[in-house]
């Protein structure tokens, strides 16, 4: 079954297609919020659990820097700022990534993708928006809070330029996350993946939360070009920090995000074309 990724089977183009697609995302998210608020205690418990997890990680950082004043020349507030920024794109990604995990079992093996293909909306839009994660909202808010605190400690300016920078760099970094895990998910169209490649790759995200300069050259090259997690936190965060040698590199983050995500979308579209249902 052929499809247009952005607009399903509707012949929309350009700005009209983009606005229509945003409306689809908004409708899906509004329905999700309504369903979650129907069980408010579950919502509160999920929120507290995610907050507690992040607080524990912050405590580990604080303990580390109580013994070590700097990390390869990076002060505690600088590392804290990078860590805080990393939570924002991660939160944006986690909002829509729930169905990428276990995609093979849920959509291909169980045949749920057949139902998705019958609807006049792009398959990728449906898969990403059929469910959302509350933890993403927590991570975004906590990340911004940590950035503001660390920024004050560093004496960084907080104005329109910084707000616009966050509005561009954070979603761009989220595109890198989305592209990497969408590519991994798309591989399941060719190879059955019950165990999942995503969990071990997801665990590597923690390496992106610290200055990339603390790692050896092979690791830095790997995180920059092979598995580009350096672009989800370190490089874009250095734009705010004004770090010599990195701030200009940070401006490439939108380009990297578009390239990584676009490549993943192409793999997804090829996978959709070869999908032939469960046969049952």
Q: What is the pLDDT of residues 177-223, one digit of tens each?
A: 999 999 999 988 888 765 567 788 888 888 888 899 999 999 999 99
Confirm whether 189 is domain-assigned. yes
Predicted confidence (pLDDT) at residue 4 exceeds the cutoff of 60 = no
**What's the rounded Cα separation, in Å, for the pair 233 and 82?**
6
Confirm whether 280 is domain-assigned. no
Confirm whether 268 is domain-assigned. yes
Task: Provide the residue range defining the domain that includes 200.
Answer: 14-274
Confirm whether 45 is domain-assigned. yes
Cα angle, residue 167 at apex, residues 166 and 168 outer, rounded to 5°? 90
- Nearby residues of 277 by Cβ (< 8 Å), 6 or more positions away: 111, 113, 114
- Nearby residues of 208 by Cβ (< 8 Å), 6 or more positions away: 86, 223, 229, 230, 232, 233, 234
Confirm whether 197 is domain-assigned. yes
In the chain, the number of structural domains is 1
Confirm whether 9 is domain-assigned. no
Are 117 and 3 contacting, i.e. CB atoms less than 8 angstroms apart? yes
Q: Where are the alpha helices (DSSP H) in the chain?
A: 14-37, 40-67, 76-96, 103, 112-117, 123-129, 134-154, 160-186, 198-203, 217-221, 234-241, 247-250, 253-274
Instruction: Give the pair of three-digit tokens for residue 53.
Output: 């997890």
**In which residue are the tokens 């927590």 written?**
138
165 or 66: whose pLDDT is higher?
165
Concatenating the DSSP letter of every residue in 88-145 gives: HHHHHHHHH-GGGTTHIIIIIIS-HHHHHHTSSS-HHHHHHHS---HHHHHHHHHHHH
- Nearby residues of 52 by Cβ (< 8 Å), 6 or more positions away: none
Are 272 and 3 contacting, i.e. CB atoms less than 8 angstroms apart? yes
Confirm whether 59 is domain-assigned. yes
Q: What is the pLDDT of residue 68?
A: 64
Q: What is the pLDDT of residues 114-145, one digit of tens each?
A: 888 887 778 898 888 887 887 788 889 889 98
pTM for this model (two decimals): 0.82
What average pLDDT does the segment 68-97 reach? 87
DSSP state of 60: H
Confirm whether 246 is domain-assigned. yes
Find the Cα–Cα–Cα–Cα dihedral 43, 91, 102, 53, rounded to 10°.
-60
Q: What is the percent of the chain with per-residue pLDDT over 70, rounded to a whole number?
A: 80
Q: Is 10 helix (H, G, I), strand (E, B) or coil?
A: coil
């Amino acid at each position: 079954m052929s499809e247009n990724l952005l607009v399903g089977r509707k012949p929309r183009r350009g700005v009209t297609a983009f606005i229509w697609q945003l409306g689809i995302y908004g409708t899906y998210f509004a329905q999700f919020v309504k369903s979650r608020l129907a069980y408010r205690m579950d919502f509160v418990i999920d929120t507290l659990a995610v907050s507690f997890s992040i607080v524990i990680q912050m405590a580990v950082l604080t303990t580390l820097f109580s013994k070590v004043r700097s990390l390869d020349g990076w002060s505690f507030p600088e590392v804290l700022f990078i860590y805080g920024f990393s939570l924002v794109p991660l939160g944006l990604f986690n909002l829509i990534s729930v169905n990428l995990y276990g995609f093979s079992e849920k959509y291909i093996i169980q045949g749920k993708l057949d139902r998705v293909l019958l609807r006049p909306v792009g398959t990728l839009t449906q898969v990403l928006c059929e469910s959302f994660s509350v933890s993403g909202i927590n991570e975004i808010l906590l990340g911004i809070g940590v950035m503001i605190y660390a920024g004050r400690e560093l004496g960084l300016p907080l104005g329109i330029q910084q707000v616009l920078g966050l509005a561009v760099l954070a979603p761009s970094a989220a595109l890198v996350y989305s592209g990497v895990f969408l590519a991994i998910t798309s591989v399941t169209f060719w190879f059955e993946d019950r165990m999942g490649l995503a969990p071990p790759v997801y665990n590597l995200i923690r390496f992106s939360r610290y200055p990339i300069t603390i790692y050896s050259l092979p690791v830095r090259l790997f995180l920059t070009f092979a598995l580009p997690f350096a672009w989800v936190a370190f490089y874009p965060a250095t734009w705010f920090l004004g770090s010599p040698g990195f701030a200009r590199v940070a401006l490439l983050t939108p380009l990297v995000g578009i390239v990584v995500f676009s490549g993943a979308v192409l793999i997804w579209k090829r996978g959709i074309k070869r999908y032939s249902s469960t046969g049952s």
